[in-house]
């Protein structure tokens, strides 16, 4: 956290009319602000602003001579307020929705004197946050890249966030147990079959798939706070760019001026491929510069954190030197 910086946003009024004093923490990678095109990266549910370098969660994507090249871009990452990575916790998390986080990020950009972005990219809830930001600020970026996500919480997603809520509030080991359940959403049956093939852990006398789940539960328990998990799970259930409007999705999304690259995972059980395709088909009727790309993988939702060569191949044209020349 040595490079973590803080923007204080006092008296922020949430969607539910609750007053918050927000500590918005962020990190910058690559070139200094003002010296290069800016890429904003939105992290996923248990992620944070540590994108690259030591323990960077998107190291294969962000760095010198990588897809998002730190010698050509300024890369910015905000932390979701209350995610436990710097800043203070938020106990009354139910008084926030994802649209509030979008407003907070937009305030952060304004305070940093950033008027527009070359690109904004993110996976899972970080990708859904892109939809929310763009709905509020249609000129936010030249390129919008929501990955493995959607503009709304589907019934399937709402069912899973409800189960997560029950576990987080009733289990004697809430983070551990909630993570075990979540991993079943983040991967796919075929991924498990290829990885484990009913093999046994001879030391523990259980199946390897069981020991793997227990390991992930223990690992998250050591680094994540319960209040942060509750907050992020709640926000995941509040995705909806049409909330409290009389407008349809197409009406709102058609006003987004930048190129939209919807990136789906064909084996995703969390934000399904069919769900993403339906969003794409709707948007194609009202907007020309929208594109659909598919990560073909057995790994399910987490493919955007695993299938790095495939992701690089799908997005290379957006971040190439030639693209920058065209944009300029």
The domain 156-235 is classified under which CATH number: 3.40.50.300, 3.40.50.720, 1.10.1740.110, 1.10.287.130? 1.10.1740.110
Judge residue 114's burial from the number of C-beta atoms within 10 Å of its C-beta, 0-12 exposed, 13-18 middle, 19 or more buried.
Answer: middle
- pLDDT tens-digit map of 282-302: 999 999 999 999 999 999 999
Over residues 3-11, mean pLDDT = 94
Q: What local confidence, expressed as pLDDT, does residue 1 receive? A: 62
Q: What is the Cα–Cα distance from 68 to 316, expressed in whole angstroms?
A: 9
- DSSP-assigned states of every residue in 267-298: T-SSS-HHHHHHHHHHHHTT-SSEEEEEE--S
The domain limits of the chain are 5-153+241-327, 156-235
Q: Tell whether the model's pLDDT for residue 326 goes beyond 50.
A: no
Q: What is the Cα–Cα distance from 67 to 61, expressed in whole angstroms?
A: 5
Percent of the chain with pLDDT over 90: 94
Q: Is CATH 3.40.50.300 the classification given to domain 5-153+241-327?
A: no
H-helix or E-strand containing 210? helix 208-223
Percent of the chain with pLDDT over 70: 97
Over residues 2-6, mean pLDDT = 87
Q: What local confidence, expressed as pLDDT, does residue 54 receive? A: 82
Q: Tell whether the model's pLDDT for residue 318 goes beyond 80.
A: yes
Q: Tell whether the model's pLDDT for residue 98 goes beyond 50.
A: yes
Q: What local confidence, expressed as pLDDT, does residue 322 receive? A: 63
Q: Tell whether the model's pLDDT for residue 198 goes beyond 90.
A: yes
Q: Tell whether the model's pLDDT for residue 327 goes beyond 80.
A: no
Sign of the alpha-carbon torsion through 316, 320, 325, 327: positive
Over residues 66-88, mean pLDDT = 95
Q: What local confidence, expressed as pLDDT, does residue 88 receive? A: 87
What six digits make up the tokens of 267? Answer: 């084996």
Q: What is the Cα–Cα distance from 7 to 26, expressed in whole angstroms?
A: 8
Q: What is the Cα–Cα distance from 6 to 111, expressed in whole angstroms?
A: 11
Give SS3 for 73: coil
* Number of residues that make up the chain: 328
201 phi/psi in degrees, rounded to 5: -90, 105
- pLDDT tens-digit map of 119-178: 999 999 999 999 999 999 999 999 999 999 999 999 999 999 999 999 999 999 999 999
What one-character DSSP code corresponds to residue 240?
B
Q: How far is CA 20 from the centre of its chain?
A: 23
Q: Tell whether the model's pLDDT for residue 107 goes beyond 50.
A: yes
Q: Tell whether the model's pLDDT for residue 328 goes beyond 60.
A: no
Nearest to 241 by CA among 128, 82, 159: 128
Q: Tell whether the model's pLDDT for residue 2 goes beyond 80.
A: no
Other beta carbons within 10 angstroms of residue 71's beta carbon come to: 11
Q: What local confidence, expressed as pLDDT, does residue 323 receive? A: 62
């Amino acid at each position: 956290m040595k490079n973590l910086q803080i923007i204080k946003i006092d008296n922020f009024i949430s969607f539910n009319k609750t007053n918050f004093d927000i500590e918005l923490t962020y990190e910058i990678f690559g070139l200094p602000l003002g010296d290069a095109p800016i890429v904003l990266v939105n992290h996923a549910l248990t992620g944070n602003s540590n994108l690259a370098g030591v323990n960077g969660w998107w190291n294969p994507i962000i760095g010198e001579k990588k897809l998002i090249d730190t010698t050509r871009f300024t890369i910015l990452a905000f932390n979701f307020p209350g995610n436990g990575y710097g800043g203070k916790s938020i106990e009354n998390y139910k008084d926030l929705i994802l649209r509030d986080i979008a407003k907070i990020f937009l305030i952060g950009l304004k305070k940093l004197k950033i008027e527009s972005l070359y690109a904004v990219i993110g996976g899972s809830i970080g990708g859904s946050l892109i939809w929310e930001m763009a709905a509020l600020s249609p000129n936010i970026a030249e390129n919008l890249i929501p990955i493995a996500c959607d503009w709304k919480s589907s019934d399937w997603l709402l069912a899973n966030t409800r189960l997560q809520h029950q576990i987080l509030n009733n289990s004697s080991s809430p983070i551990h147990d909630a993570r075990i359940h979540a991993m079943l959403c983040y991967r796919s049956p075929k991924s498990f079959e290829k990885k484990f093939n009913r093999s046994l852990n001879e030391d523990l006398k259980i199946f390897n798939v069981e020991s793997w789940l227990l390991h992930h539960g223990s690992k998250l328990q050591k680094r994540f706070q319960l209040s942060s998990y509750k907050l992020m799970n709640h926000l995941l259930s509040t995705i909806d760019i049409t909330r409290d409007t009389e407008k349809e999705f197409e009406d709102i999304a058609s006003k987004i001026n930048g190129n939209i690259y919807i990136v789906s995972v064909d084996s995703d059980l969390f934000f399904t491929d069919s769900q993403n395709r339906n969003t794409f088909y709707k948007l194609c009727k009202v907007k020309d510069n929208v594109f659909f790309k598919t990560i073909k993988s057995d790994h399910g939702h987490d493919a955007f954190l695993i299938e790095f060569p495939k992701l690089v191949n799908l997005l290379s044209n957006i971040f190439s030197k030639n693209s920058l020349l065209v944009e300029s």
